[in-house]
């Protein structure tokens, strides 16, 4: 099965924040029904990052070129990115279920956040005003640093306030995407109304018809 770049896959951004969209680059159910990881290679990761706007097309072209010239390092960077993504997934899912996070996963997320924080640089934008930016030191995963900082805020704020939901299609083993639930009364049920919401609606409709037939 091809990865996102070869497939020219159009990613969905239903998570409401970049770190959840990163976690949602796996469709279906992890460890269950037909999981599909769209990020099978380092170029797939770059493809996602360009689509979500973490890098521009020039930076993407540069990273594709580096992946061709340094395939070993690119493969290593890909493994590391997936390790971080899965750790974040495990920590958030545990928190949503009000379970303690797996220690290794939390350690990985902490390490990732610390690495990103260490690359924050302040500069004076105008007298008395500072701007922070992330240093691009040429690391193949430098563009994931904003994702780490977003994950840190997510854990401290929305996760801790119970504002992260899991798509209800998980109950039928179809989708377990995570999303920020900013709806009133925390009533959001699906990652996406057009796909998961509609599918659930059609299933209910079909079941009602089946039951009402003699």
Residue 45 in the binding site for Zn ion (CB under 5 A):
no
Distance, CA of 47 to CA of 5 (rounded, Å): 6
Binding characters for Zn ion, 112-151, by CB under 5 A (x = yes): ----------------------------------------
Q: Binding segment for Zn ion among 15-23, 54-62, 121-129, 170-178 (CB under 5 A)?
A: 170-178
Residue 20 in the binding site for Zn ion (CB under 5 A):
no
Helices (H) and strands (E) in the chain, counts: 8, 6
Q: Binding segment for Zn ion among 42-50, 135-143, 157-165, 172-180 (CB under 5 A)?
A: 172-180
Residue 108's nearest CA partner among 78, 86, 93, 138 is: 86
Residue 175 in the binding site for Zn ion (CB under 5 A):
yes
Q: Kindly tell me which of 28 and 146 has the beta carbon lying closer to Zn ion.
A: 28
Work out how close the CB of 196 gets to Zn ion at its nearest, in angstroms, rounded to a whole number: 3
Q: Binding segment for Zn ion among 36-44, 58-66, 80-88, 173-181 (CB under 5 A)?
A: 173-181
Tokens in use for 9?
A: 């896959």
Coil, strand or helix at 130: strand
Tokens in use for 211?
A: 């039951």
Residue 177 in the binding site for Zn ion (CB under 5 A):
yes
Distance, CA of 195 to CA of 210 (rounded, Å): 22
Residue 81's nearest CA partner among 33, 43, 121, 28 is: 43
Work out how close the CB of 168 gets to Zn ion at its nearest, in angstroms, rounded to a whole number: 8
Q: Binding segment for Zn ion among 41-49, 148-156, 159-167, 202-210 (CB under 5 A)?
A: 159-167
Residue 4 in the binding site for Zn ion (CB under 5 A):
no
Check: CB of residue 38 under 8 Å from CB of residue 12.
Answer: no
Q: Binding segment for Zn ion among 27-35, 91-99, 155-163, 171-179 (CB under 5 A)?
A: 171-179
Q: Kindly tell me which of 106 and 180 has the beta carbon lying closer to Zn ion.
A: 180
Distance, CA of 18 to CA of 48 (rounded, Å): 11
State which of positions 62-101 bind Zn ion (CB under 5 A): none
Q: Kindly tell me which of 3 and 165 has the beta carbon lying closer to Zn ion.
A: 165
| Alpha carbon of residue 95 to chain centroid | 16
Burial class (CB in 10 A: 0-12, 13-18, 19+), 156: exposed
Q: What are phi and psi of 70, to 5 degrees?
A: -125, 65
Distance, CA of 28 to CA of 1 (rounded, Å): 15
What residue ranges bind Zn ion (CB under 5 A)? 167, 169, 175, 177, 191, 196
């Amino acid at each position: 099965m091809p990865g996102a770049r070869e497939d020219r896959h159009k990613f969905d951004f239903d998570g409401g924040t970049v770190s959840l969209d990163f976690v949602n680059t796996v469709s279906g159910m992890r460890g269950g029904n037909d999981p599909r990881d769209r990020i099978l290679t380092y170029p797939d990761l770059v493809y996602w990052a360009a689509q979500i706007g973490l890098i521009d097309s020039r930076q993407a072209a540069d990273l594709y070129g580096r992946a061709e010239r340094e395939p070993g390092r690119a493969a290593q960077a890909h493994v590391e990115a997936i390790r971080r993504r899965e750790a974040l997934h495990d920590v958030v899912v545990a928190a949503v279920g009000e379970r303690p996070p797996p220690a290794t996963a939390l350690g990985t997320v902490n390490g990732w956040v610390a690495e990103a924080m260490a690359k924050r640089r302040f500069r004076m934008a105008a007298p008395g005003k500072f701007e922070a930016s992330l240093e691009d030191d040429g690391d193949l995963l430098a563009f994931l640093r904003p994702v780490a900082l977003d994950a840190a805020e997510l854990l401290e704020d929305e996760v801790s306030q119970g504002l992260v939901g899991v798509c209800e299609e998980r109950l039928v083993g179809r989708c377990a995407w995570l999303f920020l639930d900013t709806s009133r009364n925390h009533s959001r049920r699906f990652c996406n109304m057009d796909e998961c919401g509609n599918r659930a609606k059609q299933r209910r409709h079909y079941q009602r018809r089946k039951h009402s037939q003699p």
